[in-house]
Amino acid sequence: MPNFSSDGVEIAYLDEGTGDPILLIHGFASSAQVNWVDTGWVRDLVRAGRRVIAIDNRGHGQSEKLHDSSRYGGPVMAEDARRLLDHLGISRADVMGYSMGARITAFLALAHPMRVRSAVFAGLGGNMVRPMAGTGPIAAALEAPSIDDVANATARTFRAFAEQTKSDLKALAACIRSSRDPLTPEALGTLKCPVLVAVGSDDVIGGKAEALAKLIPGAEAFVIEGRDHMKAVGDRSYKDAVTAFLARRA
C-alpha cells in the first residue's frame, strides 16, 4: 500500500478506480483490507464507476502504530482523512465510515463541511451520541498476556477480532483509551450534506439507525435486516442501499 505523512505519522491507503471519489474509513481493530477489500466493497464500487480511496487509520493495518493514547481520538483521525484528500489532490469526496469510522466521518464532516459531498454513517446509529461504555475492560483485554486471561465476554470478542486481524494490540489499547470527544445531537443537527445511516437490525453496539437519522436534517435511515455489528459489513442489501443513495444524492 502507498503511504504518506500526516503531520509526521505514516498513513497507508488504497486508491483504485476512476470517477467520483469516495473515501472509506474502517472500524476499530479492522483495516482497509478487512473492512473494505475482503468484503467486496472496493471491487463493487470500482465496478460502479467510482474512484475508491480507503485509509488505514493510525494504529491499524499498515499505518504507523502509536502506543500513546494522546495521539488518537476522533478529531485527530479525521484530520488524517482530510490530509489524505489533500495528498491526493481531492477537493471533495463522498465519505463512508463503519463503526469507529462513522465517528471519524462525522468529525470530518463537521470540521470540513466543504470536503464532504455526502456521508454514510454505517454500523453506528443512536449510540454515536452516547458515551462509549466499557472501554477500560476492552483495553485491559487487549493488553492481557493471552485471550485465555480475559473473562469479560464483550472484551474477549474485541480481543479475538484484534488477533484475527493480526493487529498491534498495544496500539489498539492506546486508541481505545484515547479521549472520547463527544458528538452531540446539536452538532450533528448542523450537518448540511446528504447523510445515510445504515445499521444492522440486530446491532446492539451501534444502536438504531433511525435514532441517529432523526437528529440530522434530511438524513435517511436504512436497516440492514437480520445482521449484527460484525455481519452487516458485507451485506448485499447494505451495498445496494449505499449505491442507490450515492446515485440520488445532490
**Could you tell me if 82 and 112 are in contact, meaning their C-beta atoms sit under 8 angstroms apart?**
yes
- Percent of the chain residues topping a pLDDT of 90: 92
Which residues, listed in sequence order, are joined to residue 51 by a DSSP beta bridge?
Answer: 21
Kindly report, residue by residue over 22-73, the tens digit of the pLDDT: 999 999 999 999 999 999 999 999 999 999 999 999 999 999 999 999 999 9
Kindly report, residue by residue over 153-167, the tens digit of the pLDDT: 889 999 999 999 999
pLDDT at residue 205 tops 70: yes
Residue with cell 503511504: 3
**Could you tell me if 48 and 243 are in contact, meaning their C-beta atoms sit under 8 angstroms apart?**
yes
Q: What is the pLDDT of residue 49?
A: 95
Kindly report, residue by residue over 98-152, the tens digit of the pLDDT: 999 999 999 999 999 999 999 999 999 999 998 776 688 999 999 999 999 999 9
Segment 6-30 shows an average pLDDT of 97
pLDDT-based confidence at residue 180 (cuts at 50, 70, 90): confident
Give pTM, 2 decimals: 0.96
Q: What is the pLDDT of residue 133?
A: 64
pLDDT at residue 250 tops 90: no
**What does each C-alpha distance from 246 to 49, 115, 196 come to in angstroms?**
11, 16, 9
3-128+182-248: in CATH 3.40.50.1820: yes
C-beta neighbour count of 39 within 10 angstroms: 18
Mean pLDDT of the chain: 96
Kindly report, residue by residue over 75-106, the tens digit of the pLDDT: 999 999 999 999 999 999 999 999 999 999 99
pLDDT at residue 188 tops 90: yes
For the chain, the domains span 3-128+182-248
Q: What is the pLDDT of residue 134?
A: 64
Residues whose CB is less than 8 angstroms from the CB of residue 102 and which lie 6 or more positions away in sequence, other chains included: 25, 120, 121, 122, 123, 124, 128
Q: What is the pLDDT of residue 247?
A: 95
C-alpha span between 64 and 75 (Å, rounded) = 17
Q: What is the pLDDT of residue 136?
A: 87
